Chain A
Amino acid sequence: MNTQFKKGIIEMCVIHMINDKDMYGFEVIDSLSKEIDVNENTIYPILRRLTDQGYFETYSEATNVGAPRKYYRITAKGSVKKVEYQKEWDKFLKGVYRILGGENHEV
């Protein structure tokens, strides 16, 4: 699959996951890589970029071992982006399904 295309999908998934619940870096990478065949080292840069773009904010939480964990939380801007992504994705998938097997094609 095209790398940029894949990165776009990962970006959407990361926003979706953080929208559902606050997560820390390792957790995002671990959860995502269990579901999608993805190169783990590409996830943190995406997480970082989305934070820089204002879709997430971070806060620290102490743990029993080591330094405090950095958690990512969705922002209002991130929530809007998530809805935008969802619409784009639905539209995109509909188009793809139509091409693959007509209106009622199911995966």
Chain B
Amino acid sequence: MSAQHPLSRQVARALLAHAARVSPAGRRGWFVAMASELDHLPHGASVLQWALGCLLVAYTERIMDRSLTHLPRWLLATEMAVCLVPLTWLFVAVIMVTAQGHMTLVWGLKYASAALVGPLGLALAARILFVRSRALGRAAATLLALLAAWTFIAELGQSLDTGLPVSTWWRDFVLIAVLPAVAVSHLLWINADRRARALRAH
């Protein structure tokens, strides 16, 4: 350990080199800047704290970058199918039962509106995942979010209304309300990221 480069500075430098390595390629220049700033921190400054903060930024940027756009398309498609197909089946069943007269039109419309996020979500997911150049407009994204919220609220209200213990209905609730909400949230996140990138590119 030399007097010029005490251990804390060496460790800090190693942390920043690691931060630059794990950061997304588009952000690497920032970490080079942070590393060079480290060499200008005055004696007595907490260089380790500085470097740890930068490392945290590197991992956060990496997570934000990878979680949205770097998941394989097949994995996202599987996620969307698992989350949205059960509700799509419910939508189809409601339409058929209503058409056959086993359910009144009013209830049929209520159930169908609560299940609509299933088929609509699948269609929009296909567009987002397989037509890479296109992002959903604000109106479509808002509609999807509102439908998912409506499904969640309607299913929760109906489940609570039965007066039965949670243990009897939580599985249906997860299939019909939670999984679609997860899928829609992820889709909207991907879409927002795509829109932001498109804006930056312009």
Q: Is this pair of chains taken from one and the same complex? A: no
